[in-house]
Amino acid sequence: MSTATRSATATKKKSGNNSQSSSAKRAGPKGDNLYEWVSTILGPKGSPYASGVFFLDIHFPQDYPFKPPKVVFRTRIYHCNINSQGQICLDILKDQWSPILTISKVLLSICSLLTDANPYDPLVASIANQYLTDREEHDRIARDWSKRFIMGARSFDVTFQSVQSAEFLVYLWETVNTPTCQFAIFALIAHVANYNLTARFEYNTRGFTKLLGKNAIYFYAAYLLLSAYIRDQIIHKAVLFDVGSFVLLPEQVATYAGATIFVLGFLLNLWTLKALGIKGMYNGDSFGHLMEAPVTDGPYVYFQDPQYVGTSMAMLGTAIYYQSLTGYVLAIDMYIVFWVSVLFFEGPHMNRIYAEKAEREKQKAK
């Protein structure tokens, strides 16, 4: 008997003939290749995955059953122990493997993992943190994913060729066309429209100053921070709904790179706040707090509008951290919206304010 035949026979034996064992979990070879199997798992009842149908690939090494099989999810799943590449953090598939374990038992253990996750040994730290701190929201997203990807959809494998394909355009459109992504885009635009319209309202009517007095600018700054916080929460939920959909980098690299870019963007915003002050940062010129000269030091040495660069960097860092196509779409949209705002709304409004100031000073000088 050849080595391949002996190994294939061992594979059949150790599988426990699982292809006939249960309607909830099935497994069998891909065609005639007994080293490559496919499996289907129905989400366990009582778990947030109950409505899901999950497809897995199983690869048997040549020295099976002395080495564990490699089991990978091909259906996207929102789980702290299963990453965007479908890799599973399960001890029996690593150091706790035993030759007496069958594929049936492996699949049963995976089903148990879906019912009872292990957030203290995660592959996806952000999902584990949410599991521990906001279980209700975690379960809601997991249920949404299970329904959304019930036909076995998976994350997009990014290559230079794949992003030029018609398949990617369809995938991109499907992402943008989701209610969560569209609502996040709306929130992003609404926040920018909010501070543009309210700045004009104050400049033309002095409405906030009449209502709140000489410290109106500080109340207004707090209002804009609240508006930005609401925008960010909506964006965060949209990105969480789309975790692992666009894998550009290995998991650990994405985590560190995304966090670094986010922090740099946040620090750039703090640097801008230091250079401008609260009045300069939050439309103080519309409240009558005009500067004698444009700010040219600090971050303005490197950027024309550093606060928008910083916010866009933070959004890009979030997209990389979560490997989210929605995140990348929102990062691009955010930068475009800021650019349009500066070019067609904020810039002309500021030019008007300082032109009228110059005209008043000219009239006084006569």
Alpha-carbon Rg of the chain, whole angstroms? Answer: 27
CA dist 332 → 128, 160, 325, 360 (Å): 28, 19, 11, 40
**Residue-by-residue DSSP string for 227-268:** HHHHHHHHHHHHHHTTTTSEE-S-HHHHHHHHHHHHHHHHHH
Residue type for 117, please? A
Task: Please count the other Cβ atoms lying within 10 Å of the Cβ belonging to residue 31.
Answer: 8
Q: Quickly tell me which residue has 């379960």 as its tokens.
A: 139
Orientation of helix 347-365 relative to helix 179-205, angle to 10°: 10
In angstroms, rounded to a whole number, what is the distance separating the alpha carbons of residues 341 and 347?
8
Residues 148 and 53 sit within 8 Å (Cβ to Cβ):
no
- Judge whether 263 is annotated as a binding position: yes
User: In terms of DSSP bridges, do strands 70-73 and 156-157 run parallel, antiparallel, or are they unpaired?
Assistant: unpaired
Backbone angles phi, psi at 163, to 5 degrees: -75, -5
Task: Please count the other Cβ atoms lying within 10 Å of the Cβ belonging to residue 185.
Answer: 20
- Judge whether 86 is annotated as a binding position: no
- Judge whether 34 is annotated as a binding position: no
End-to-end CA distance of the chain: 109
**Residue-by-residue DSSP string for 260-297:** HHHHHHHHHHHHHHHHHHHHHHTTGGGGT---SS---S
Q: Find the helix or strand (DSSP H, E) in which 55 lies.
A: strand 53-59
Q: Which of 80, 89, 111, 181 is catalytic?
A: 89
Angle at 19 between CA 17 and CA 22, to 5 degrees: 105
Q: Residue 33: name the closest of 66, 63, 58 by CA.
A: 58
Catalytic site includes residue 89: yes
Annotated binding site: 263-265, 346-347
Q: Which positions are annotated as active-site residues?
A: 89
Annotated binding site for S-adenosyl-L-methionine: 263-265, 346-347
